[in-house]
């Protein structure tokens, strides 16, 4: 990898590599999200990239989930895309902020009905009592007419949320072989 082969802007380079990954990786939008609680306890999980633009990288979460709580306590986070077939990874660090309810609502309305029901009926980041319990919760929402109103995107009185990571540091590189290199922008 040569610096002259890279785009001048980190986001433009990300879009190039994301397009390459789209042709070589089954789910290039999968990324690891690392957060830390207020006491510094780290946590990492896989989430899906929903949007990448000059304002940042966008993913969805629920406020009551562990990651939602951690991001409220400590809005610093890191993302990692790992595209093994290409020998590439992209790491992004930044500060997380909520996007507007309008943006969240628009995305949530595009999700399949079953996914919306599950998001509303299941307690995020907490064990579900049983499959039967979850199915009863879904039926309760359907019988109450909640399915028609799910586009409002409320979960226990909290909006289903979308977060964006504003890139402060972008690190990209080939992981192995003669082209092994890391560039930071």
pTM over 0.85, yes/no: no
**Per-residue model confidence as pLDDT tens digits over 147-169:** 222 222 222 233 334 444 444 44
Residue 172, judged by CB atoms within 10 A of its CB (0-12, 13-18, 19+), counts as buried
Query: Mind listing the domains of the chain with CATH numbers?
Result: 3-184 (2.30.110.10)
Mean pLDDT, the chain, integer: 72
Which of 56-70, 73-87, 102-116 is the least confident region?
102-116
Q: Please tell me whether residue 52 adopts helix, strand or coil conformation.
A: strand
Please give the pLDDT value at position 22.
Answer: 96
Q: What percent of the chain clears pLDDT 90, i.e. is strictly above it? A: 19
Question: Does pLDDT of 76 surpass 70?
Answer: yes
Select from 173, 167, 169 the least CA-distant residue to 52.
167
Residue found by looking up tokens 């999968």 in the block: 30
């Amino acid at each position: 990898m040569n610096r002259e082969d890279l785009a001048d802007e980190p986001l433009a380079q990300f879009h190039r590599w994301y397009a390459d990954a789209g042709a070589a990786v089954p789910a290039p939008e999968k990324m690891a999200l690392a957060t830390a609680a207020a006491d510094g306890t780290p946590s990492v999980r896989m989430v899906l990239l929903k949007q990448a633009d000059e304002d940042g990288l966008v993913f969805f979460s629920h406020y009551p989930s562990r990651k939602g709580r951690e991001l409220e306590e400590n809005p610093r986070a890191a993302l990692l895309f790992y595209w093994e077939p290409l020998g590439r990874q992209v790491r992004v660090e930044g500060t997380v902020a909520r996007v507007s309810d309008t943006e969240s609502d628009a995305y949530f309305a595009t999700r399949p009905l079953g996914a919306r029901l599950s998001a509303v009926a299941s307690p995020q980041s907490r064990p579900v009592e049983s499959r039967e319990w979850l199915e009863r919760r879904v039926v309760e929402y359907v019988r109450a007419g909640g399915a028609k109103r799910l586009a409002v995107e409320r979960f226990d009185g909290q909006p289903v949320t979308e977060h964006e990571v504003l890139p402060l540091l972008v690190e990209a590189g080939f992981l192995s072989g003669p082209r092994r290199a890391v560039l930071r922008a």
